[in-house]
Amino acid sequence: MAEGHDLCGHLTAAGHELRQRVYFEDTDFSGLVYHARYLHFFERGRSDYLRLLGVHHNELAADGLAFAVKTMALDFKRPARIDDILTIVTEPGEIGGARIRLRQAIARGETILVTAAVEVALVNAGGKPQRLPLAVRAALEAQSQPRGDGRSVSI
């Protein structure tokens, strides 16, 4: 379904891009986007990236599994504002047995607003790290050696 697919953004040579709007809910009384909201945008990007690689939260949950963020280094360079259209760029880095490193950026047009170095782990209901499904690992590794023709996040 075209419209549904479009909601997921699209895979690029280097990873994934998703466009999202800034709404009232994302701003605070300073007139700018509330800093914690950028983490929502980053999470939407990661979720849709994994979705397009065939990983679905509800299927993982049926097996008692979920991705959890373990560490995050954030650089808030410039603010986003109400009505902005943001592009969330996600690129895989090192893929360990149970952890995935990702580089992410939020841009408005060509201007990078926020960058994040993120480490996520697949965990079971008890919080224990689990090995990544082989298919996911293979899909991510294929993209972690980009062929140089995609937009790249430099952080």
Question: Mind telling me the catalytic residues?
Answer: 28
- Which segment (24-32, 100-108, 130-138, 144-152) binds its own copies by CB under 8 A? 24-32
Q: Which two tokens stand for residue 39?
A: 């983490």
Do the Cβ atoms of 117 and 73 come closer than 8 Å?
yes
Q: Interface with its own copies includes 85 (CB under 8 A)?
A: yes
Q: Interface with its own copies includes 40 (CB under 8 A)?
A: yes
Q: What count of Cα atoms within 13 Å lies in the side-chain half-sphere of residue 69?
A: 15
Give the three-class secondary structure for 98.
coil
Within 108-147, the residues that bind its own copies by CB under 8 A are: 125, 127
Contact pick of 11, 52, 53, 70 for its own copies (by CB under 8 A):
70
Residue 25 Cβ vs its own copies, minimum distance, rounded to whole Å: 5
Determine how β-strand 85-95 pairs with β-strand 99-108: antiparallel
How many C-beta neighbours within 10 Å does residue 142 have?
A: 11
Within 42-61, the residues that bind its own copies by CB under 8 A are: 43-44, 47-48, 51, 56-58, 61
